[in-house]
Amino acid sequence: MNPADAQSRGIQDGDLVRVFNDRGEVKLKAKLHQGIRPGMVNVFQGWSPADYVDGTHQALTHETINPAQQAIYEPNAAYCDALAEVERAKEV
């Protein structure tokens, strides 16, 4: 997460955060870095459920199948692009 976004939310590096949207939520530790564009959050790919405090990043995506694509190939999903909000979480 970009430090400017974190500062406006009262989040510091290493804080427990809740990333959520209307589909679900995940709790994990924040890592701040200037290389993340403001307004974006990056969750490293390849994490296992053991790497999260609660939930996984897949809770933020959808399970809607594109019927047109399914008819000609395989269904797709937006695994790497989901609108979400971040807030400092209460310690568990």
Read out DSSP for 35-77? Answer: TSPTT-----TT--GGGSSBS-GGGGS-----HHHHHHS----
Q: Higher pLDDT residue, 8 or 46?
A: 8
For residue 21, give both structure tokens: 């949207």
Q: Which tokens belong to 92?
A: 């568990």
Count of domains observed in the chain: 1
pLDDT tens-digit series, residues 35-91: 999 999 988 766 666 678 888 777 887 767 667 766 776 656 556 678 899 999 987
Q: What is the length of the chain? A: 92
Q: How far is CA 70 from CA 46, 52, 79, in A?
A: 25, 32, 17
For the sheet containing 85-88, what is the strand order? 25-29, 16-20, 85-88
Q: What is the pLDDT of residue 73?
A: 67
pLDDT at 34 over 70: yes
18 pLDDT higher than 70: yes
Domain membership of residue 74 as a residue range: 3-88
- Assigned token pair, 68: 């047109």
Q: How confident is the model at residue 17 (pLDDT cuts 50, 70, 90)?
A: very high
Name which residue leads in pLDDT, 17 or 91.
17
- Looking up residue 68, the CATH number of its domain turns out to be 2.40.40.20
- How far does Cα 40 stand from its chain's mean position? 9
List the structure tokens of 90: 């209460």
